[in-house]
Amino acid sequence: MLTPEVSRTALELPPEERLELARRLVESVVEPAHLTEAIEAGLRRIEEVATGRVAGLTEEEYRAALR
């Protein structure tokens, strides 16, 4: 069971370390050899936005794109 203390500690990590932790958690559930291209692309895109290499959408832009 995930405790509030573990969550709080993880969320206090710097962004780069949270990304690495997220990557490791995903790989611990799904064997790396079985990761699909879509999952790999998704992780790469999240990292690009989180590190500022790619600008994310504002909520307004996101909602407009759904219409």
Per residue in 20-42, pLDDT tens? Answer: 998 888 888 876 566 677 788 88
Task: Kindly report, residue by residue over 48-61, the tens digit of the pLDDT.
Answer: 988 899 988 888 99
pTM of the model: 0.47
Cα atoms found within 13 Å of the Cα of residue 15, Cβ hemisphere only: 7
Yes or no: say if 50 and 21 are a contact pair by the CB < 8 Å rule. no
Helix axes 15-29, 37-50, angle to 10 degrees: 170
Domain-wise residue ranges, the chain: 4-66
CA–CA distance from 29 to each of 15, 33, 48, 51, 64 (Å)? 21, 12, 22, 24, 34
Spatial CA neighbour of 17 closest among 39, 47, 56, 55: 47
